[in-house]
Each structure stands twice: as structure tokens, then as C-alpha cells.
Structure 1
Amino acid sequence: MQALLASTFTVAIAEIGDKTQLLALLLAARFKNKTAIISGILFATLLNHLAAAWLGQWAIARIAPDVARYLVAASFFAMALWILVPDKIDAGESRVYRWGAFAATFILFFLAEMGDKTQIATIVLAAKYDALAMVVAGTTLGMLLANVPLVIAGHFSADRLPLQWIHRGCALLFAALGMATLLC
């Protein structure tokens, strides 16, 4: 249960102001079918985070436990610093829009998550917790918690949120996870 809650909370907070959240806003403005957008987010995130969590658990199984603990802690500290750098959305996705709301969302979200903060966080969380299904469920739920409200209320803008403070709070969360990993 701890893996599920930590994964959900960590990714939901980390996602605020992330490029995939900006992408959710763009898709909500572009397409009327909100169910297709939300479904695209769900399936793209599940597939992407399942692969990331599997990679995290595969990698951690091949490293000595003490070394693994320090690597996971260092990864959390690196995420704390990385989260302070705001994301911007790329403008070259317009060709994918012709495939419809679900396909466009699925493809764009899957690609936008590659190497993204939340994907890296999923790898680290899966390495920390030996609960692949709970980590994937939690990180996917966190993505949905952060993005679905924006899709539903498409007129709401991320510019209205205090992103600098949210990023700082998220950085503190990752630093706290790093400290907890070192101390436990």
C-alpha cells in the first residue's frame, strides 16, 4: 500500500507544470471528445510506466543492496533538482491530430513521457519498492489525478497555478524520499 500511495502522490505533484500536463491542456482545447483524451492518457501512461517500472526492478535486481540504496537515494536527489527546471511543450505535434483524439493523445503522451521526470520517477520508485503493480497503478493514478481535471475543465490554464512553489514543494518531496531511502 505504501508503494501505491507514494507513487500516486509523488507523480501527481511532479506532473504539475510538466510538459505532459501542458499537452493535456492543448489536447483538451483541440478535441471535444474528453473521454478519448482521458483514455489515451490512461493507456499511454500504463504502457510507458509499466516499461519504466519493469526497468527499475530489473536494474535494481542486478545491483548489490547497499549500492542500490545509494543509487536510489541519489536518483531521488537528482529528481529533486531536475523538478526545479520547468518544462515547455514542443510545437511539432500537429500532424498527429488528424488521427483523432484517442490516437493523438496516446501517441503524444507516450512520446512525451519518454525520459520525462515522471517516467524517471517511476523507474526510481519501482527500484525502491518491490511492488511493480502498485508502482504502476500509483504512477498512472498520479498522472490521471494531475491531468484529468485539466482535460475536463479545458479552459483552465496552468498559468494560474503557483508553479514555482509547486516545483519547490515537489523538489522537497523528492529530497525527503532520498533521505528516507538513506535512513531506512
Structure 2
Amino acid sequence: MDWKLLGITFVTVFLSELGDKSQLAAIALSGGCKSPRAVFFGTASALILTSLLGVLAGAGAAQLLPVKFVKAIAAVGFAVLAIRLLCFGDNSQETEETTS
């Protein structure tokens, strides 16, 4: 097993998931229930399943396309999301002002 890759993957996913909508949903669900353990196992299994789907999609894309191209597509996707968030991300105040 490639322990360095495992560590980099863990740190990257851990940091990207902090404060994520799924974590906020887990906080909300566990705050209003009598079984936080069930919420933990539900959210953990959901994260594992979505990660599995991501790994399978990435591995499948890497089989069909050059790895460099797959990485470029991911980089462009992140850049587009970043630009969208920077330019259009805070519409909540504008929406509240127009509806009030």
C-alpha cells in the first residue's frame, strides 16, 4: 500500500469536508435525535459510498483518457467553481433584499 498517497488523500478529504454541508447536516440530525451513533454510521457510510463512486469514476476515466487530461479536467472544474463562487457566490443578501 502507498502510505504517502493514503496520508495525502486522508488530509485532503478531511480538510475539504470540514464545514461541508454534509457535516452541517450531521450536526443538525444528531442534535435532534436520540441515537447519534446511527447518524454517525449513516453519514460515514454515505461518505464511503460517494468516495467509492468518485474513485470508480476517476479510475474509469483514467482508463479511457490520459491521466494528465483527467487531472486537467478536474483542475478546470475546480477553477470554474472558484470563479463562480467569487463572482456569484453571495446572492443570499441580494435575494433577501429583493423579496423584502
Q: TM-score, normalised by structure 1?
A: 0.39
Mapped to 2, the partners of 1:5 and 1:52 lie a distance apart of 18
User: Which residue of 2 is the match for residue 60 of structure 1?
Assistant: 62
1:35 aligns with one of 34, 37, 47: 37
1:4 aligns with one of 6, 11, 33: 6
- Contiguous gaps of at least 5 residues in structure 1: 87-184
How many angstroms does 1:11 deviate by? 1.4
Cα RMSD, aligned residues only: 2.6
In the TM superposition, 1:37-116 aligns within 5 A as 37-75=39-77, 77=79, 81=82
Structure ranking higher on relative contact order (CA contacts 8 Å, 6+ apart): 1
Mapped to 2, the partners of 1:72 and 1:48 lie a distance apart of 17
Letter aligned with residue 51 of structure 1: L
Count residues in correspondence.
85
- Contiguous gaps of at least 5 residues in structure 2: 91-100
Q: Sequence identity of aligned pairs in percent? A: 26
Q: 1:58 to 1:39 in 2, by over 3 A?
A: same
Bigger Cα Rg: 2
Mapped to 1, the partners of 2:50 and 2:64 lie a distance apart of 22
On the 8 A contact 1:28/1:37 being kept in 2, the answer is yes
Mapped to 2, the partners of 1:77 and 1:26 lie a distance apart of 30
Q: 1:28 to 1:72 in 2, by over 3 A?
A: same
User: Which residue of 2 is the match for residue 25 of structure 1?
Assistant: 27
- The 3-state SS of whatever aligns with 2:54 is helix
- The C-alpha deviation readout for 1:48-103, integer Å capped at 9, x for no partner, is 21112101110121112443343344345456x278769xxxxxxxxxxxxxxxxx
Query: When you count helix as a share of all residues, which structure comes out higher?
Result: 2
On the 8 A contact 1:14/1:83 being kept in 2, the answer is no
Mapped to 2, the partners of 1:56 and 1:13 lie a distance apart of 20
- The C-alpha deviation readout for 1:130-173, integer Å capped at 9, x for no partner, is xxxxxxxxxxxxxxxxxxxxxxxxxxxxxxxxxxxxxxxxxxxx
Runs of 4+ in structure 1 displaced over 4 angstroms? Answer: 75-79, 82-86
- The C-alpha deviation readout for 1:6-52, integer Å capped at 9, x for no partner, is 22111111112211111011011111212111111121111221112
Q: 1:83 to 1:20 in 2, by over 3 A?
A: farther
User: Which residue of 2 is the match for residue 127 of structure 1?
Assistant: none
User: Which residue of 2 is the match for residue 15 of structure 1?
Assistant: 17
